[in-house]
Amino acid sequence: MQRQSYRFPHDKGSSAPLRQDSDTSDVQASFVMKCGGSTLAALPEAFFADLAQLQADGVRPVIVHGGGPAISDNLEKLGIPTEFVHGLRRTTEEVLDVVEMVLAGTINKLIVRRIQSAGGKALGLSGSDGSLIQAEPVANAAEVGLVGDVVRVEADIVAGVLSMGYMPVIAPLGVDAQGQRYNINADTAAGAVASFVGARRMIVVTDVPGILKTVDGVKAALPSVTFAEIEDMIASGEIYGGMIPKVRAAMKCLHGNVEEVVIVDGSEERVLSRLLSGEAIGTTIRR
């Protein structure tokens, strides 16, 4: 299996493609799925059964997950203050200890167990393992602390796990060459992983049916959306809060190898298999 070298275009708004210095790995992800920790906890067993069946049918998913509410709950229990700056958790070493414990421990292993209970095969990893996700401080690190931008993903590790027949389940932590840990926004991490592993599609599983727009006083999910429409909706306030990093990550990874990002409601029956069979579900963002 050949080793790959990539550079993720982390400058905001960059349209530069990823540079790939060698051939892609023999085993390629079918899609990358991003799901928040709270969304995963609420998903029915049928969702994981659908995921396990897809794997049995030869589909190769890669999962990147979050866990923000669980992190906040644990910080509160420990009496550690939580603060957000422009949607990013201000992360000290003390906060990072809890972030790592929750993401790489509790949430990651919960997802692995749920997949395996449904008949699938999964292997949990954090971005620190094998320097899987390599990071550097974000531009506003003075404000947010130990929050990272992704500069490289070791795609051969993901390909190796897939080649063994397992579904990689990745916690969004990063590490630099000096071993410094970083907290990475899960949407940003998923977008980077999707680009670096060469997946053509990223699926963002949420608790809403897609990007909503108000038409004649009624909110409905848009079947598709352009970059320009996203920017207009952010400016108007129709896209707000936690949906902003989701669409930003989608736009960013679409500059790489990913052809489309689909935002779907994970509670819909067999949402993954229906989507992969070509059914129009959720909101699709394309180049």
Tell me whether residue 116 is in a domain. yes
Average of per-residue pLDDT across 108-116: 95
Question: Residue 100 and residue 98: Cα distance in Å, rounded?
Answer: 5
Number of domains within the chain: 1
Q: What is the pTM of this model?
A: 0.86
- 279 in any annotated domain: no
Separation of alpha carbons 270 and 174, rounded Å: 32
Provide the pLDDT confidence category of residue 26 given band limits of 50, 70 and 90: low
Structural domain includes residue 22: no
Structure tokens at 133: 């996700």
Binding-site residues for substrate? 67-68, 89, 183
Sign of CA dihedral 269, 270, 275, 278: negative
Annotated binding site: 67-68, 89, 183
pLDDT tens sequence across 123-159: 999 999 999 999 999 999 999 999 999 999 999 999 9
Per residue in 186-229, pLDDT tens?
A: 988 998 999 899 898 999 998 888 888 888 888 888 999 988 88
Q: How far apart are CA 262 and CA 276, in angstroms?
A: 11
- Residue 175 CB neighbours (<10 A): 20
For residue 87, give the 3-state DSSP assignment. Answer: coil
Decide if 258 is inside a domain.
no
In CATH, what number is assigned to the domain containing residue 62? 3.40.1160.10
Angle made by CA atoms 268, 273, 274, in degrees to the nearest 5: 65
131 domain residue, yes or no: yes
Is position 68 within any domain? yes
